[in-house]
Structure 1
């Protein structure tokens, strides 16, 4: 029997962002719901290989089904998101938090491994592109800075105020230590943050994993086009596009 993927969908006329509620940080996107849904089996297999560093579960079948949806007025085609899952509104157990924390730290560590394997971090084969928010990061260095810089924003939305450190792994550890100083942080309070967006600790942890995954995938695909594929590390087990 196929294992079910609990899908949360955020969409508008420009595209679809789908998240795997029960595989924290895994996601797909597409111009249509069908296109995004069709990508889930491969996404989950890559995600599990990354999470476990093994081939366990890679032969299983996965069946996505919708559990929550939201029409968005954001730039979904550029992975702009503000959704909070219904399951991100409930308290965390200590075990749940520690498991998610270790994944979030692993993600930052693996992001560093990928980044450090790229010979010239200021070179890119990608064309310049702009969105409503400005220029899209093109080089590994730009992607790294962008991915790291959201750290203070994410944890700040739930009340943990930090100054970003330059290294993404050290910054992530620093941010989580400040989160753990918050009174009752495992209560996972839902807080209205900037631009009326709703946040919780569960959402912050998921957003770290999701955001890392978006930009690690872009960095890896750019790097194997620009440099010898054999020297580029692939700790997230992405496939070539």
Structure 2
């Protein structure tokens, strides 16, 4: 039986890496006494896979994983048993039976929406911020990105769907950012922020919360 679960990752665990999150869930499954299915080979491991990674320091309301059990279990029981042993800051929000769907969750991803708050090192006015966002939305956004071949300039504008200023006061600002997120890659929010800082000529501390990931669930059918 394969279960697809939605979970949140909040402030207490925002600096836990993706690899450590995998280990965290594996420990939780064992503590919950789940009948896990394991891979074949010399080093068997639980059949657990995440749709995508979340950057260290980010929080989220909408992350996905799938796990395979060796015996049937109601998704409600799965959720209750795992939540009872998870640490503060991590909770399973929903779980469903994947049925006959066997493929990875990653190809189902389409986009992600982020709530982003900035604390600028000096006051920045609303008009200045709106002008910077308009400039970013209207042309190429060339940034240096680390790749397997080294640091290369890339245009991340095609990956940016929308960026809207929600509030601005006392050197702080809040934005909604929507970017593409697919199996081929997605918008790197931190590179978008770097481009924004360059437009403004000022640095800031950013706080990023992934509100949702748009998934094409029709592919499950």
The TM-score with structure 2 as length reference comes to 0.27
Higher helix share: 1
Larger RCO (CA within 8 A; separation ≥ 6): 2
The TM-score with structure 1 as length reference comes to 0.25
